[in-house]
Amino acid sequence: MKVLAIARNNLVRLFRDRSSIFFVFIFPLALILLIGLQFGGSFAPRLGVLAPSPGTVGAEIIDNLASTDGVEVVTLSDESSLKEGVERGSLGAALSLPADFDERVAAGEMSEVGFIARPGGVGAALQPVVAEVVQRSVLAANAANFVVTQDLATFEEALVTARTIEGQLPAPEVHVTTVGEALFPASLGRFDIGASSQLVLFMFITALSGAAVLIQTRELGLSRRMLVTPTSVPTIVMGEATGRFLVVAVQGLYIMAGALLIFGVDWGDPLAALAIVVVFSAVGAGAAMLLGTLFRNAEQAGGVGVIVGLGMAALGGAMLPIQLFSPTLQRIAHLTPHAWALDAFAKIRADGGIGDIGLELGALAAYALVLLLIASWRLRRSITRP
């Protein structure tokens, strides 16, 4: 009962602070929204197209580019924003059709299309893709031009014939097959990945911010005051740990529910998801207790908490999917609890149940246990010795 009283006290203090309400409850969902809006579309390089008077051929080029997978076409209206977009990296590359493009193609005259890219960038590597689409669109016109060079017909007549023949003649084919399992299945909602990443990131940061509260409690002499009441040291330690745990777990469940209701995020098996949140909260509580015993100054612990929280999140794949890491870095990543929790979420998203994430839950539980044991030992020392 006393454990619960100390724990409850922790929760009440959390909810009384308005800025913590922002960070704990409003901010994570806002970030899930922001990241969904920002990255929910695709990672495909963007190709800017400027076509003041495209005509049939130009329109065909734009259509063909737009239907190419792995490239996102953006139509722009002026040369300077095209150039600036490429220079600043908001466009991978850009294609600029001259103003008289339509006229010249219709008359069988040569014209040059500008392909703008930064040397070495992903856009520059797209050159063969763009070149292919452009040449395919102008295929019949090129054949007609050949007929004209042989003095056999006018360009207009030859173009009509060439178009007909192009439609009838079987062409050599290029067949594209994709291999492997997608990192992000097509069924994944735009908010899904962001949601589990933000969940672990914020739960951990919230947990660590509890370290400062722990230090303040000690600074204010409250721990010693509690010790004066008939409350044993293990009870106080358990109470503080339960308090941290509850704060983190409440936030975790709130983010889950919020993301589910507002953004329709699919978390997978509810029981398994709940288990991850509970065990991860325990890890957070342990980490907060440990951090709280390592520092004497609440502000310093707060600063270190932010570094550790953001740093471990980045390393654990809560900012960039771990699958994009090098193999060595992936192994290092699994030193963080974040990586294990995210692995578990990925498994239950892929229709796994609680039985499939036993390894991940076990690893997290081991973290929680070790952290709590070390922290209890240190906390016990710090409140019983002045």
Within positions 57 to 76, which residues make up the interface with another protein, using CB under 8 A?
A: 68-71, 74
Min separation Cβ 37 and another protein, Å = 7
Q: Which of residues 242-281 bind another protein (CB under 8 A)?
A: none
Scanning 153-161, 223-231, 275-283, 341-349 for contacts with another protein by CB under 8 A, the matching segment is: 153-161
Tokens (6 digits) for 113 = 């299309």
Please provide residue 46's backbone torsions phi and psi, each rounded to the nearest 5 degrees.
-95, 135
- Per the DSSP assignment, residues forming a β-bridge with 47 are 73, 93
Is the Cβ of residue 81 or residue 231 nearer to another protein in the bound state?
Answer: 81
24 binds another protein, rule: CB under 8 A: no
Q: Which of 4, 5, 37, 359 is in the footprint of another protein by CB under 8 A?
A: 37
294 binds another protein, rule: CB under 8 A: no
Q: Which of 222, 260, 314, 366 is in the footprint of another protein by CB under 8 A?
A: 314
Q: Which of 33, 227, 274, 310 is in the footprint of another protein by CB under 8 A?
A: 310
DSSP letters along 15-81, please? HH-HHHHIIIIIHHHHHHHHHHHHHSS--PPEEEEE-SS-HHHHHHHHHHHHTSTT-EEEEES-HHH
Going edge to edge, which strands form the sheet with 72-76? 72-76, 46-50, 93-96
195 binds another protein, rule: CB under 8 A: no
SS3 238: helix
**Half-sphere exposure for 348 (CA within 13 Å, toward CB):** 28
Is the Cβ of residue 314 or residue 366 nearer to another protein in the bound state?
Answer: 314
Element (H, E) at 93: strand 93-96
Is the Cβ of residue 4 or residue 125 nearer to another protein in the bound state?
Answer: 125
90 binds another protein, rule: CB under 8 A: yes
177 binds another protein, rule: CB under 8 A: yes
SS3 100: coil
Scanning 82-90, 237-245, 255-263, 267-275 for contacts with another protein by CB under 8 A, the matching segment is: 82-90
Cβ-defined contacts of 322-327 (< 8 Å, 24+): 323/183
168: burial class by Cβ within 10 Å (0-12, 13-18, 19+)? exposed
Q: Which of 73, 143, 222, 294 is in the footprint of another protein by CB under 8 A?
A: 143
Q: Distance between CA atoms of 142 and 274, rounded to whole angstroms?
A: 64
Min separation Cβ 361 and another protein, Å = 25
367: burial class by Cβ within 10 Å (0-12, 13-18, 19+)? buried
Quick check: 338 and 317 in contact, CB under 8 A? yes
Q: Which of 22, 103, 335, 358 is in the footprint of another protein by CB under 8 A?
A: 22
135 binds another protein, rule: CB under 8 A: yes
386 binds another protein, rule: CB under 8 A: no
Q: Distance between CA atoms of 209 and 247, rounded to whole angstroms?
A: 11
Is the Cβ of residue 132 or residue 233 nearer to another protein in the bound state?
Answer: 132
Min separation Cβ 176 and another protein, Å = 5
88 binds another protein, rule: CB under 8 A: yes
Q: Could you tell me how far CA 59 lies from the centroid of its own chain?
A: 35
Is the Cβ of residue 29 or residue 35 nearer to another protein in the bound state?
Answer: 35
Is the Cβ of residue 35 or residue 238 nearer to another protein in the bound state?
Answer: 35
Q: Distance between CA atoms of 302 and 288, rounded to whole angstroms?
A: 11
SS3 200: helix
Scanning 166-174, 232-240, 279-287, 376-384 for contacts with another protein by CB under 8 A, the matching segment is: 166-174
Q: Distance between CA atoms of 251 and 247, rounded to whole angstroms?
A: 6
Is the Cβ of residue 38 or residue 187 nearer to another protein in the bound state?
Answer: 38
For residue 256, which of 6, 43, 32, 5 has the smallest C-alpha distance?
32
15 binds another protein, rule: CB under 8 A: no
Is the Cβ of residue 159 or residue 278 nearer to another protein in the bound state?
Answer: 159
200 binds another protein, rule: CB under 8 A: no
| Amino acid identity, position 205 | I
77 binds another protein, rule: CB under 8 A: no
Is the Cβ of residue 45 or residue 284 nearer to another protein in the bound state?
Answer: 45
**Binding-residue pattern over the window 92 to 111 for another protein, x denoting contact by CB under 8 A:** ------------xx--xxxx
